[in-house]
Amino acid sequence: MVFGASGGIGAALAVALREQSNLGQVETVSRGGDTDHHCDYHNEADLKATAAAIGARGPVHLVIVATGILHGEGIAPEKTWKAIDADVMAEVFAINTIVPTMIAKHMLPVLAKDRRAVFAALSARVGSISDNRLGGWLSYRSSKAALNMALKTLSIELARVNKNAMILGLHPGTVETGLSQPFRGNVPDGKLFAPIHAAQQLLGTIDQAPPDSSGTVLAYDGTRILP
Ligand SMILES: NC(=O)c1ccc[n+]([C@@H]2O[C@H](COP(=O)([O-])OP(=O)(O)OC[C@H]3O[C@@H](n4cnc5c(N)ncnc54)[C@H](OP(=O)(O)O)[C@@H]3O)[C@@H](O)[C@H]2O)c1
């Protein structure tokens, strides 16, 4: 299952998953793109119906949430506290923190219990509090830090009810998508990933993630990002 499957990384994840012929059915969800399901992520009844439709086909072994926003209409990452706007901040939290958490609320119950199952959400290294040396991007950073805490909290409850399932936050690196487009000036050579390359790296990270990494954030190379 890929949520946010019309986005740069989400669409590439769907392609990469479908290339792995040993996997079962791959289902894609977006708000209105060319995907198997459509869902308004901000509407809980819609999320519940989407999870029920997918769960009805059998247990789900992998859910990846690839939604998120950095900039958009009326939304720009803040360079200074003078730019903080309550409505913009609330919208960024709604998209980056609350949407993946609500997807988890409805998808964790349909995760398989008979073998390894993973719920993963795209986060970002800038959501690391201990790694924050530059400041700026207050809403995006804070919304991802809050997402990371939500994932950790969910992982503790999940471990009690499903021993084979785990939750991961994922940092994809800097990827050539619309989200990163205005902000790629300082990316070192070789560190700007094509979406399909990023997707393959993320799937490798998910595959290799040890059980005790549930609730943590892992980067594209498998290394742990400190909270
Ligand atoms: N690109 C990078 O360099 C980079 C770096 C670090 C972290 N990330 C993270 O990776 C994830 C995917 O990013 P991307 O680069 O693939 O970005 P993208 O191409 O802009 O795709 C983002 C997806 O987020 C969903 N979305 C956008 N606006 C939304 C809204 N108002 N309400 C609900 N959902 C909305 C859309 O999902 P639908 O398909 O459903 O419309 C869209 O496809 C994000 O969480 C981002 O923070 C990206």
Nearest Cα residue to atom 10 of ligand 1: 122
Residues 158, 108: contact at Cβ < 8 Å?
A: yes
**Which positions ≥6 away from 222 have C-beta within 8 Å?**
204, 205, 208, 209
Report pTM: 0.98
Whether the predicted pLDDT of 83 surpasses 90: yes
Which residue, 170, 204, 203, 177, is CA-closest to 192?
177
- Pocket, ligand 1, Cβ cutoff 6 A: 4-10, 30-31, 33, 41, 66-69, 95, 99, 122, 124, 172, 174-175, 177-180
Residue to probe by mutation, ligand 1, list 75, 148, 179, 205, most atoms within 8 Å of CB: 179
Q: What pLDDT sits at residue 185?
A: 87
Helix-then-strand count for the chain, H and E: 6, 10
Residue to probe by mutation, ligand 1, list 29, 38, 69, 70, most atoms within 8 Å of CB: 69
pLDDT in tens, 134-185: 999 999 999 999 999 999 999 999 999 999 999 999 999 999 999 999 999 8
Residues 136, 84: contact at Cβ < 8 Å?
A: no
Q: Which domains does the chain have, with CATH numbers?
A: 2-225 (3.40.50.720)
